[in-house]
Structure formats: structure tokens, C-alpha cells
């Protein structure tokens, strides 16, 4: 089940005013969060194990949901952008749930495809942030919570 579907179901519970169901979901999530925190604490003794756990796509989102991902957002963004050779990072700053990213592209005018690739890469690496501001890309229509400044 995807995170989007879970959000849809939770929104439905909110609209339909099912307080017992909402309480059940919260309680189960708290229980899972506590168990995952204990597992991550055990795994912390082995940095390679912690990294493998955090890299698993099935686990990564759940760790982010509970605030347990072992890497800071800027580390995740930096690592993810290494996969795009046309991009170099000049600066990353995280403050109050927002990430400001200053990049430089190898091409003077990056095309829409490269721009979308950068935006998607950043959003996937740090979905737990409220806002991402990318300096160094031309403005474009964006469907994710990313702000682009030229």
C-alpha cells in the first residue's frame, strides 16, 4: 500500500468523523514507530547495517514517516544528486523544515527534462521537508512543493 493511499484513507476518516478509527490508526502508528526506533537503535551499532536498512525503498518511507531516517535531508539530497552528472551543488542549507539548494548546471540553459529530473530527485530524497527552494534553475510549472529561483 502506498503512502498516498494511506493519506487518502486518513482524509476519509477525518471527513467521515470516525474518532475511534482515527485513534486506532494513531495508536498502531505509535506502536510501529516505537518498534522501529528500537530496531534502529540496535542497528546503530553497525553503520553498514543502518545504511542498508535506510537504503531499502520499502523501509525508507516508513523511517521518514516516523522521523527515524539516519541521514539528514541535506545528506540524502547530496547523495541523490550525485546521480545527475550535469549538476554540481554549491550549497545546501536546511532550516525549520525547508531546504535551500544552490546548484550549478553544466548546461547554461538546462532543458525541462533535466529540470524535472533534478526536482524529482530532490523531492524523492527528502519528502519529509515542508519546502525545497532550488536556486540556479529557470522557473517552470512545478507540481511538487519545490520553489525554483533563477
Q: Do the beta carbons of residue 51 and residue 61 sit within 8 Å?
A: no
Question: Cα dihedral angle (127, 133, 139, 145), rounded to 10 degrees?
Answer: 30
Which domains does the chain show, CATH number per domain?
A: 3-65 (no CATH), 73-149 (3.30.70)
- Residues with Cβ < 8 Å from 42, sequence gap 6 or more? none
- Report the share of the chain in percent with pLDDT over 90: 27
> Greater confidence, 16 or 62?
62
Q: What is the pTM of this model?
A: 0.70
Return the pLDDT at 32.
Answer: 92
pLDDT at 108: 63
pLDDT given at position 144: 45
Is residue 139 pLDDT above 70, yes or no? Answer: no
pLDDT at 143 exceeding the cut of 60:
no
The pLDDT tens digits for 55-83 are 888 898 889 889 899 999 999 999 999 99
Kindly report, residue by residue over 78-96, the tens digit of the pLDDT.
Answer: 999 999 988 889 999 888 8
Query: Beta strands 87-95 and 131-135: pairing type?
Result: unpaired
Q: What's the average model confidence in pLDDT over 1-30?
A: 79
| Residues 61, 76: Cα–Cα separation, whole Å | 13
Q: Which long-range contacts (CB under 8 A, 24 or more apart) does 65-70 make?
A: 65/3, 65/29, 65/33, 66/29, 66/32, 66/33, 66/36, 66/37, 67/128, 68/33, 68/36, 68/37, 68/40, 69/128, 70/40, 70/44
Amino acid at each position: 500500500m502506498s503512502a498516498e493511499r494511506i493519506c487518502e484513507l486518513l482524509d476519509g476518516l477525518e471527513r467521515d468523523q470516525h474518532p475511534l478509527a482515527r485513534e486506532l490508526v494513531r495508536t498502531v502508528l505509535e506502536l510501529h514507530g516505537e518498534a522501529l526506533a528500537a530496531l534502529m537503535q540496535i542497528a546503530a551499532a553497525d553503520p553498514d547495517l543502518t545504511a542498508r536498512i535506510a537504503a531499502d525503498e520499502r523501509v525508507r518511507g516508513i523511517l521518514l514517516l516516523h522521523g527515524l531516517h539516519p541521514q539528514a535531508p541535506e545528506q540524502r539530497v547530496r547523495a541523490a544528486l550525485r546521480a545527475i552528472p550535469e549538476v554540481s551543488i554549491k550549497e545546501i542549507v536546511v532550516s525549520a523544515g525547508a531546504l535551500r539548494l544552490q546548484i550549478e548546471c553544466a548546461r547554461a540553459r538546462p532543458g525541462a527534462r533535466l529540470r524535472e529530473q533534478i526536482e524529482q530527485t530532490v523531492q524523492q530524497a527528502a519528502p519529509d521537508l515542508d519546502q525545497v527552494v532550488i536556486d540556479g534553475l529557470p522557473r517552470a510549472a512545478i507540481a511538487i512543493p519545490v520553489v525554483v529561483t533563477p
